[in-house]
Amino acid sequence: MTTPETLIASSDPASKVNLLGLSRAQMEGFFSQLGEKRFRAEQVMKWIHHHGVRDFEQMTNLGRSLRERLEQVATIAPPEIADQQDSADGTRKWAIRVAGGALVEAVLIPEGDRATLCVSSQVGCSLDCKFCSTGKQGFQRDLTSAEIIGQVWLAIDSYDGWQSGKGRVVTNVVMMGMGEPLLNFDNVVAAMDLMTDDLAYGLSKRKVTLSTSGVVPALDQLAEFSDVSLAVSLHAPNDAVRDQIVPINRRYPIADLLASARRYIDAQPDKKRVVTIEYTLLAGVNDQPEHARELCELLEDYPCKINLIPFNDFPNSGFKRPSGNAVSRFWQVLVDAGFIVTVRTTRGDDIDAACGQLVGDVVDRTRRAARYRERYAASGVSAANMEELHH
């Protein structure tokens, strides 16, 4: 983990520290490095995260000399909203420009008195899950903690939500956007610290969820640093199927992943915690009653709830959404076996904001996007369709 001392010491003297992404410990370390009392961290965090203030001059409980010093060495810089789309169902999606010009996406899904923000952790994704449009773009880089928490800040700011204090526009956050959160461990943990810190957004640990495709070594470390809720992107009842659609399974198979997830929740003081099992239903691939029965056997006596996600199509995906009857049959097998099961309602698909559809603008370091384009061209896919996929 990055310590406050190394964070400040490693900063380029010619650059300013972005206070937006600093956890409480890092913020206290920052002010200690300036020779200030640590309570200054509390004051500045409240200005940033409770009131949406970016201008040090507006922080009226700081002395003028400190405000002038902060102007010299620090900044409060969220990423930039490049585009905003609003769905007919109330879902709002932002294309957010981060350092270097790449675009990532964040989605706010309102439902009754709740509003869940889906947050990205990387520019692209290196894992290449076969049914996810983000994976088709390849991978560029990790997001900084400021770029991650900045998505929460921007969502609140977009609705002018600062007046009520603590920005109650966002009630839940899921780390389920672009990227694999556990491959950006330090920055994601720092951002989640801010999400749950009363000096920032004050969300319950139950209302912040990290979703992983199965980076077992990082998951084994997570309990040392965080106590947020955990979701596992399983998507298959056996290794043979999962190897084909979630390639990381070849390194960390299902048994290892489920054992690691159980260790995580067992390490939490709240003994009622369960793992959310995410299962995307792909027609003819993993959606048959025999798959459901196999999933029941796999998860027998496992502390979990299951979230079924009918596949949301995107251009040239190679997969199809199962029929409503197929989803119902699969659901019924699980319910009859005694599992708590929900079927995720598709939200925001008219603006490509549904699960698995997020596509940003990635300078691909892996050449995966180029390989997909070559493959589509060889199969006769039109240039227009390829352009639609990648933009």
Q: Name the percent of the chain lying above pLDDT 90.
A: 72
Rounded Cα gap, residues 145 and 143, in angstroms: 7
Q: Burial, 10: exposed, middle or buried (Cβ in 10 Å; 0-12, 13-18, 19+)?
A: exposed
Which residue is associated with the tokens 């999606």?
93
Q: pTM (2 decimals)?
A: 0.85
Q: Which of 33, 52, 75 is the last residue of a domain?
A: 75
Averaged pLDDT score across all residues of the chain? 86
Angle at CA 305, nearest 5°, toward 301 and 311?
125
> Averaged over 206-223, what is the pLDDT?
97
Lowest mean pLDDT among 127-131, 141-145, 217-221: 127-131
Model confidence at 352, in pLDDT bands (50, 70, 90)?
Answer: low
- The residues that bridge with 173 in the sheet, in sequence order, are 117, 208
Rounded Cα gap, residues 194 and 19, in angstroms: 12
324-336 and 289-298 helices, crossing angle to 10°: 30
The tokens of 121 are what? 């952790």
pLDDT of 360 higher than 70: no
Model confidence at 315, in pLDDT bands (50, 70, 90)?
Answer: confident
Cβ–Cβ < 8 Å for 270, 204 = no
Cβ–Cβ < 8 Å for 282, 241 = no
- The residues that bridge with 307 in the sheet, in sequence order, are 278, 342
Q: Which of 75, 105, 120 is the last residue of a domain?
A: 75
Model confidence at 6, in pLDDT bands (50, 70, 90)?
Answer: very low
Q: Which of 125, 196, 145, 128 is nearest to 362 (CA)?
A: 125
Active site residue 105: yes
Answer yes or no: do 47 and 195 share one domain.
no
> Averaged over 111-137, what is the pLDDT?
87
Answer yes or no: do 64 and 141 share one domain.
no
Rounded Cα gap, residues 47 and 59, in angstroms: 7
pLDDT of 391 higher than 60: no
Lowest mean pLDDT among 40-54, 71-85, 365-379: 365-379
Model confidence at 340, in pLDDT bands (50, 70, 90)?
Answer: very high
Give the pLDDT of residue 375: 44
pLDDT of 5 higher than 80: no
Rounded Cα gap, residues 175 and 265, in angstroms: 17
Answer yes or no: do 128 and 29 share one domain.
no
Cβ–Cβ < 8 Å for 232, 258 = yes
> Averaged over 74-79, what is the pLDDT?
97
The tokens of 299 are what? 């998860």
Give the pLDDT of residue 248: 96
pLDDT of 356 higher than 90: no
Strand 122-124 to strand 80-86: parallel, antiparallel, or no bridges (unpaired)? unpaired
Q: Name the percent of the chain lying above pLDDT 70.
A: 83
Cβ–Cβ < 8 Å for 102, 139 = no
Answer yes or no: do 57 and 101 share one domain.
no
Rounded Cα gap, residues 26 and 41, in angstroms: 9
Q: What is the DSSP string of 295-333?
A: HHHHTTT--EEEEEEEPPP-TT-S--PPPHHHHHHHHHH
Give the pLDDT of residue 11: 39
pLDDT of 209 higher than 80: yes
Cβ–Cβ < 8 Å for 279, 313 = no
Rounded Cα gap, residues 192 and 201, in angstroms: 10
> Averaged over 323-328, what is the pLDDT?
96
Answer yes or no: do 265 and 304 share one domain.
yes
φ/ψ of 182, rounded to 5, equals -75, -10
Answer yes or no: do 43 and 60 share one domain.
yes
Cβ within 8 Å of residue 122, ≥6 positions away: 104, 139, 140, 141, 142, 143, 178, 179, 180, 183, 184
Cβ–Cβ < 8 Å for 360, 97 = no
pLDDT of 303 higher than 90: yes
Cβ–Cβ < 8 Å for 276, 304 = yes
Which residue is associated with the tokens 């792909």?
282
Domain with residue 176: its CATH number is 3.20.20.70
Tell me which residue range forms the domain holding 24.
Answer: 4-75
Question: Active site residue: 118, 129, 304, 355, which one?
Answer: 355
Give the pLDDT of residue 377: 41
pLDDT of 324 higher than 70: yes
> Averaged over 343-370, what is the pLDDT?
54
Answer yes or no: do 162 and 53 share one domain.
no
- The DSSP output letter for 160 is T
Cβ–Cβ < 8 Å for 350, 92 = no
The tokens of 340 are what? 């708590």
Q: Please tell me the total count of domains within the chain.
A: 2
φ/ψ of 312, rounded to 5, equals -100, 115
φ/ψ of 266, rounded to 5, equals -65, -25
Give the pLDDT of residue 128: 85
pLDDT of 175 higher than 60: yes
Answer yes or no: do 217 and 241 share one domain.
yes
Which residue is associated with the tokens 């939490």?
268
Answer yes or no: do 120 and 23 share one domain.
no
Give the pLDDT of residue 34: 96
- Taken in order 6, 152, 218, 360, is the CA torsion positive or negative? negative
Answer yes or no: do 89 and 155 share one domain.
yes
Cβ within 8 Å of residue 271, ≥6 positions away: none
Which residue is associated with the tokens 């640093």?
225
Domain with residue 68: its CATH number is 1.10.150.530
pLDDT digits (tens, 9 = 90+) for 230-276: 999 999 999 999 999 999 999 999 999 999 999 999 999 988 999 99
Question: Active site residue: 105, 147, 180, 278, which one?
Answer: 105
Answer yes or no: do 66 and 84 share one domain.
no
Answer yes or no: do 210 and 334 share one domain.
yes
Q: Which of 49, 75, 101 is the last residue of a domain?
A: 75
pLDDT digits (tens, 9 = 90+) for 100-120: 999 999 999 998 889 999 999
Give the pLDDT of residue 2: 52
pLDDT digits (tens, 9 = 90+) for 13-35: 448 999 999 999 999 999 999 99
Cβ–Cβ < 8 Å for 373, 385 = no
